[in-house]
Amino acid sequence: MANQDDQFKKVISHAKEYGYIFPSSEIYDGLSAVYDYAQNGAELKKNIRDYWWKAMVQMHDNIVGIDASILMHPTTWKASGHVDAFNDPLIDNKDSKKRYRADVLVEDYVAKIEAKIDKEVAKAEKRFGDAFDKEQFVATNPRVVKYTEQAQAILKRLGQSLEKEDLADVKALIEELEIADPDTGSKNWTEVKQFNLMFGTKLGASADSAMDLYLRPETAQGIFVNFLNVQKTGRMKIPFGIAQTGKAFRNEIVARQFIFRMREFEQMEMQFFIKPGTQKEWYDYWKETRLKWHLSLGMGEDNYRFHDHEKLAHYADAASDIEFKFPFGFKELEGIHSRTDFDLAQHEKFSNKKLQYFDPEENKSYVPYVLETSIGLDRMFLAVFSNSLQEEELENGSTRTVLKLPAVLAPTKVAILPLVKKDGLPEVAKEIFEELKWDFNVTYDEKDAVGRRYRRQDAAGTPFCVTVDHDTLEDQTVTIRHRDTMEQKRVKITELRDLVKEEVDVRNWLMKVK
């Protein structure tokens, strides 16, 4: 655990030191769970957003993108169920006065059981070597079977009590499991209560006529209310999708995990409108398609897993999360939800407007069903950033810190370095800079010995360094160095553009997993 904590602390301090993420309003000591993206962070975030947008909108001729407002008519949130049901169960510790999400306390307890299972598996793997059959071991080892049953039983009970809104049973479960305040060890808990997560605000200046609004807690509703507008003006035929990226706001009860859980965050969502009855097939399709998108970034297949929901949200008939192995364990990164016709039917009811699609093949109108994919941009940022940050032992015994961001996402693609600050080398280096900047974000650095500059670029995540030396003046060649392998190659200046393009081209990355 200490190790995980250390790794996570390193991620947070590296993000600050290398201009990726700053605490918000830091000169006033910051604001809890609110962060700013810095010069490199803004680029990385934009590249992740573009990578998603290209895969979802550009690559699907039946998906279009919109950009709806954060503020919406307040009835939207009555219709969507958020006013009545967008709650989290909270519990306070009477001694420490700290507030927790009751379901998360139980889930963390289960995560500890799962960690025990992983430990047993790792031990057995070591013992049996190549002959080890993991599936068989997990299914038959008495200790592992016991842990697995225990974990499943707890999650099942939690799911059922939340479903029935039996908050007393959630409290009973916490007591039976003897879950203590993670910070202080105290088991002196209050009752479990529901807490609505929406941020309220007001529209209009005068107190009398002001209208109560909410900052949107999800981007999805901006898509639902525009469903017919897009369908008609875009002449879309079912099945089709509407995608959007944008800010969402949730007054999270506990937000202590850096950008994993923020109060202001960004979502990338796509609602796919389908014929009722076809939801199972599309659910499977989007689960697979979205996982492939993640895998295309090459961050390790073992770092992802699906978690199918026991407890379904009020709108869903099936739901699964793609979980990622963050520095603090496997947690939700993306949700794939079969939302039925819940949202559109509710908006029909509350607006008294028909939100139906005329299906020419069936020769009838119906309210479409919806398959949703919903990923947090900031969570994706944390997944990419934390997975990329590595300490490497080098052959000469020293270590280097390297941020192995997928090259397609890296904020700066190339650093141009004159070997020395004289003899005309900076001039040539600047010429290369001026040429490459039309195609890529590039940076120029002439300060310190070249070895130190390499390290600086490694830590900042720049995939390529181009060094201009005295030979360059003679033969117009330069050294290109790869961040991950540290391999150096002599190439012609005129080849640089194509070499880098090959490695950072979205097409080549998205094609990796078909």
Q: Which of 107, 332, 435, 439 touches ligand ATP (CB under 6 A)?
A: 332
Mapped to the 3 state alphabet, what secondary structure does 397-460 carry? CCEEEEECCCCCCCCCCEEEEECCCCCCHHHHHHHHHHHHCCCCCEEECCCCCHHHHHHHHHHH
Asked if residue 21 binds ligand ATP (CB under 6 A), the reply is no
Question: By C-alpha distance, which of 266, 263, 328 is closest to 33?
Answer: 263
Asked if residue 45 binds ligand ATP (CB under 6 A), the reply is no
Asked if residue 267 binds ligand ATP (CB under 6 A), the reply is yes
Asked if residue 265 binds ligand ATP (CB under 6 A), the reply is yes
Q: Which of 68, 117, 225, 262 touches ligand ATP (CB under 6 A)?
A: 262
Quick check: 208 and 202 in contact, CB under 8 A?
A: no
Q: How far is the CB of 26 from ligand ATP (least distance, A)?
A: 19
What Å distances lie between residue 412 and 47, 388, 442, 444, CA to CA? 11, 15, 6, 11
Asked if residue 82 binds ligand ATP (CB under 6 A), the reply is no
Which residue number places its CB atom closest to ligand ATP?
376
Asked if residue 389 binds ligand ATP (CB under 6 A), the reply is no
Return the sign of the alpha-carbon dihedral for residues 89, 93, 94, 96: negative
Q: Which of 216, 294, 379, 404 touches ligand ATP (CB under 6 A)?
A: 379
Tell me how far apart the alpha carbons of residues 328 and 180 are, in angstroms, rounded to a whole number.
19
Indicate the pairing of strand 442-444 with strand 414-418.
parallel
Asked if residue 343 binds ligand ATP (CB under 6 A), the reply is no
Please tell me what DSSP assigns to residue 30: -
Asked if residue 413 binds ligand ATP (CB under 6 A), the reply is no
Asked if residue 294 binds ligand ATP (CB under 6 A), the reply is no
Indicate the pairing of strand 63-65 with strand 240-249.
parallel
Q: How far is the CB of 52 from ligand ATP (least distance, A)?
A: 12
Q: How far is the CB of 84 from ligand ATP (least distance, A)?
A: 16
Please tell me what DSSP assigns to residue 198: P
Region of 134-142, 258-266, 351-359, 418-426 interacting with ligand ATP (CB under 6 A):
258-266
Quick check: 174 and 106 in contact, CB under 8 A?
A: yes
Tell me how far apart the alpha carbons of residues 243 and 239 are, in angstroms, rounded to a whole number.
14
- Judged by beta carbon, residue 92 or residue 218, the one nearer ligand ATP is 218
Asked if residue 35 binds ligand ATP (CB under 6 A), the reply is no
Asked if residue 222 binds ligand ATP (CB under 6 A), the reply is no
Q: How far is the CB of 188 from ligand ATP (least distance, A)?
A: 26
- Judged by beta carbon, residue 379 or residue 453, the one nearer ligand ATP is 379
Asked if residue 291 binds ligand ATP (CB under 6 A), the reply is no
Region of 65-73, 207-215, 357-365, 376-384 interacting with ligand ATP (CB under 6 A):
376-384
Asked if residue 374 binds ligand ATP (CB under 6 A), the reply is yes
| 377-388 and 2-17 helices, crossing angle to 10° | 100
φ, ψ (nearest 5 deg) of residue 194: -90, 145
- Judged by beta carbon, residue 81 or residue 440, the one nearer ligand ATP is 81
Q: How far is the CB of 218 from ligand ATP (least distance, A)?
A: 6
Tell me how far apart the alpha carbons of residues 451 and 419 are, in angstroms, rounded to a whole number.
10
Q: Which residues bind ligand ATP (CB under 6 A)?
A: 218, 250, 252, 261-262, 265, 267, 332-335, 374-376, 378-379
